[in-house]
Amino acid sequence: LFIQVPHKLMYGDAERSALEAISMAKDNEDRVAPVVSDIEGLARSIEQGTNLIERVSEWVNGILDEDEEPNHALGQYLMNALSLAPKVDPSQIEHDFNNHIQDVLMVSYLANTIRTQIDLSQRLATANLTGGEKDGEGKAAEGGEKGEQRGQRGGKRGGRGGGRGGGQNREPREPREPREPREPTE
């Protein structure tokens, strides 16, 4: 006793593309199919759409020429499908397409800029670590020299010689003009 359960397979464009790629290998003996690029996939989809339109056009022309028997259900289905298609001016389609291409190019440019920025910051960080003596290293005899370096760079943090770390040496000031001694006031 087998009772068929009603079901419907739902899949998106990605699954459809994957199934088409897999089904291309069915005719090969080694069962290998190359993965097609986006342009080739688009060309194949356009070709399939064109073939379907040609088949429908031949069927409609056959009915109009009274060579074929009309199918009212199929005709109604085609009318409903065509009425759902948007009626857009070709210049508007071209304008939208150009805007889309500009958006894609901008996103690509920004992604490349971010990638370059990350690469540059990694190189600078590596250069800072390997380029000279690291903070906290060095010999006791070089303490004064190390202190001068830290004062110029600003120590570990701060960046401009700001006042957080201990032992930061400042650049020597120019001497002030001598003042006359003040008399103590009582």
Q: What is the DSSP string of 84-104?
A: HS----HHHHHHHHHHHHHHH
107 within domain boundaries: no
Mean pLDDT in residue range 88-114:
93
Confidence of residue 144 (pLDDT cuts 50, 70, 90): very low
Using CA atoms, how far apart are residues 56 and 111, in angstroms rounded to an integer?
A: 44
Asked, for residue 52, whether it belongs to a domain, the answer is: yes
Q: Encode burial over 167-180: b for 16+ CB neighbours within 10 A, e otherwise.
A: ebeeeeeeeeeeee
Query: Is 148 exposed, middle or buried (CB count within 10 Å of its CB: 0-12, 13-18, 19+)?
Result: middle
Answer whether residue 23 is part of any domain.
no
pLDDT of 139 above 70: no
Output the average pLDDT for the chain. 78
pLDDT of residue 37: 82
Tell me, what's the pLDDT at 141? 43
* Furthest CA-CA distance within the chain: 129
Q: Which amino acid is at 154?
A: G
Determine the Cα angle at 113 with ends 111 and 118, to 5°. Answer: 95
Per-residue pLDDT at 140: 43
* Predicted model pTM: 0.40
- Classify residue 155 by burial, with Cβ atoms within 10 Å: 0-12, 13-18, 19+: buried
Note the pLDDT tens digit of each residue in 18-65.
Answer: 888 888 888 888 888 887 788 888 898 899 999 999 999 999 999 999
Percent of the chain with pLDDT over 90: 27
Q: What is the pLDDT of residues 97-108, one digit of tens each?
A: 999 999 999 999
Q: Which of 133, 158, 157, 156 is nearest to 145 (CA)?
A: 133
Residue 94 belongs to some domain of the structure: no
Q: Per the domain annotation, does 120 fall within a domain?
A: no
Residue with tokens 């957080």: 164
Chain centroid offset of residue 10 CA: 29
* Tally of domains in the chain: 1
Count CA atoms within 13 Å of residue 16 on its CB side: 7
What is the distance, to the nearest Å, from the Cα of residue 76 to the centroid of all Cα atoms in its chain? 44
For residue range 151-181, list pLDDT tens digits in order: 454 445 545 555 545 555 666 666 667 677 7
Host domain of residue 45: 37-87
The answer to the question of residue 163 being in a domain is no
| Residue 57, domain member (yes or no) | yes
- 60 burial (CB, 10 Å; 0-12 / 13-18 / 19+) is middle
